[in-house]
Chains A and B, each alone.
Chain A
Amino acid sequence: MTEHSDQFLLKIRGLKTYFYTEDGVVKAVDGVDFNVNRGEILGLVGESGCGKSVTALSIMQLIRKPGKIVEGKISFGSVNLRELPLEDIQEIRGNRISMIFQQPQTSLNPVITVGDQLAEVFEIHADLNNEEMREKSVELLRTVGIADPEQKALAYPHEMSGGQAQRVMIAMGLAMRPELLIADEPTTALDVTIQAQILDLMRDLRNELGTAVILITHDLGVIAEMADWVAVMYAGQIVEQAGVVPLFDKPLHPYTRGLINSIPVLGETKHRLADIDGVVPNLVDLPKGCNFAPRCKARKKYGLSICEEINPDLKEIMPNHSVRCWLYQDAEDHKAPLKP
Chain B
Amino acid sequence: MPRKADVKNKTMKSPETMSSLVWRRFRRHPGAMAGAIILAILILSVLLAGLSPFDPEISDIKNRFQPPSGNHLFGTDGLGRDVLVRILYGGRVSLSVGFLVVGISLAIGVPIGSAAGYFGGWVDNVLSKVIDATMSLPALMFMILLSAILREIDAPFLKSNSTLTISLVLGVLSWPTAARLVRAIFFTFREMEYVTAAKALGASNLRIIISEILPNGLGPIIVESTLGIGYAIMEESTLSFLGFGIMPPTPSWGNMLDKAQEHLSQYPWLAIFPGLMIFLAIISINFIGDGMRDALDPYKILAQIDE
Contacts and interface: CB of A to CB of B under 8 A. Distances in A.
B262 interface: no
Query: What is the interface of chain B mostly: helix, strand, loop, or mixed?
Result: loop
Interface string B174-212: 000000000000000000000000000000000000000
A19 B305 CA distance: 7
Nearest to B28: A22
Interface stretch (B3-11, B145-153, B241-249): B3-11
A108 interface: no
Nearest to B302: A21
Contacts of B11: 23, 282, 284
Size category, A interface: 20 to 34
Interface stretch (A47-55, A207-215, A295-303): A47-55
Contact of A282 (B10, B28, B307): B10
Contacts of B2: 49
B301 interface: yes
B296 to A, nearest CB: 14
B307 A284 contact: no
Contact of A67 (B9, B12, B13, B304): B304
B13 A49 contact: no
A284 B9 CA distance: 11
B132 interface: no
A82 B91 CA distance: 58
B306 A48 contact: yes
B89 to A, nearest CB: 41
A53 B301 contact: no
Nearest to A26: B305
Size category, B interface: 10 to 19
Query: What is the interface of chain A mostly: helix, strand, loop, or mixed?
Result: loop
Contacts of A19: 301, 304-305
A49 B306 contact: yes
A162 to B, nearest CB: 15
A19 B257 CA distance: 50
Given A23-B11, A284-B10, A66 B307 contact: no
Given A22-B25, A22-B28, A48-B6, A285 B307 contact: no
Contacts of B1: 103
B307 A26 contact: no
Contacts of B28: 22
A49 B304 contact: no
B84 to A, nearest CB: 40
A283 B9 CA distance: 10
A340 to B, nearest CB: 29
B13 A285 contact: yes
Contacts of A227: none
A116 B53 CA distance: 75
A280 B9 contact: yes
Contacts of B25: 22
A185 interface: yes
Contacts of A28: 305
Interface of A: 19, 21-23, 26, 28, 48-49, 52-54, 64, 66-67, 102-103, 184-185, 279-280, 282-285
Interface of B: 1-2, 6, 9-13, 25, 28, 301-302, 304-307
Given A54-B305, A66-B304, A282-B13, 7 more contacts: A22-B301, A26-B302, A48-B307, A49-B10, A54-B307, A282-B11, A283-B305
